[in-house]
Chains A and B, each alone.
Chain A
Amino acid sequence: EVQLVESGGVVVQPGGSLRLSCAASGFTFDDYTMHWVRQAPGKGLEWVSLISWDGGSTYYADSVKGRFTISRDNSKNSLYLQMNSLRTEDTALYYCAKDVAYHSGYFDYWGQGTLVTVSS
């Protein structure tokens, strides 16, 4: 059974930093592109970032470019999101999501999310 379990969400002050983690199981992690998607409270979904199977390619939404860094450790079946210079508008539930294939661009499995609150 595919499982994605996010962790690391906390309350942080504006300008602060945070690292989210996603532990994957039930599939061959290093065969798939992985993504982060977020959802602000009561709002819609926003794609944040993707990383290729080998970590060699990364892409970001304009809203987080230069502040967030996606990475992965295939030996630990783990995905990460380093978040710096946090803003109040980064407050959201952050999901990790598995790409359907090597790189299809849509998602067949999602975690339950980890909540990041940016507030003074």
Chain B
Amino acid sequence: DIQMTQSPSTLSASVGDRVTITCRASQSISSWLAWYQQKPGKAPKLLIYKASSLESGVPSRFSGSGSGTEFTLTISSLQPDDFATYYCQQYNSYSTFGPGTKVDIK
């Protein structure tokens, strides 16, 4: 089974900050990686698929990069609506989610 890790587990940041979250896979998953945003009491929302493709309707301040085993999600300028938990998901072999990264207010 493919295991996913994320770092950091919690990130404290201010509005306007550039934020980067890292996701690592236990084996190569090519570019079969998605990123989701989840707010309390809500279902997850798809942000990025195939490692770097932006889902329709998602602000361009979100971007993804990486391939193989190491991936990043970057928010270029953090907005008040972006305080949430972010999950990566591999879909190279069935599906596995990372443990999540909570972005909170500094």
- Chain A, Cβ-Cβ closest to B42: A112
* A110 / chain B contacts, CB cutoff of 8 Å: 43-44
A45 pairs with B44, CB closer than 8 A: yes
* A112 / chain B contacts, CB cutoff of 8 Å: 43
Instruction: Encode contact with B along A77-104: 1 for CB under 8 Å, 0 otherwise.
Output: 0000000000000000001000010001
Question: Cβ of A66 < 8 Å from any Cβ of B?
Answer: no
A44 pairs with B99, CB closer than 8 A: yes
A39: shortest Cβ distance to chain B, in Å? 9
Question: Cβ of A46 < 8 Å from any Cβ of B?
Answer: yes
Count of chain A residues near B, Cβ 8 A = 21
Among A50, A62, A106, the residue within 8 A (CB) of B46 is A106
Beyond A62-B1, A110-B43, A111-B43, whether A105 also contacts B95 by CB under 8 A is: yes
A112: shortest Cβ distance to chain B, in Å? 6
Show 25 residue pairs from A and B whose CB-CB distance is below 8 angstroms, ordered by the A residue: A44-B87, A44-B100, A45-B36, A45-B97, A45-B100, A47-B95, A47-B97, A50-B94, A59-B94, A61-B94, A62-B1, A95-B43, A95-B44, A100-B46, A100-B49, A104-B91, A105-B32, A105-B94, A106-B34, A106-B46, A106-B49, A107-B44, A107-B46, A108-B46, A110-B44
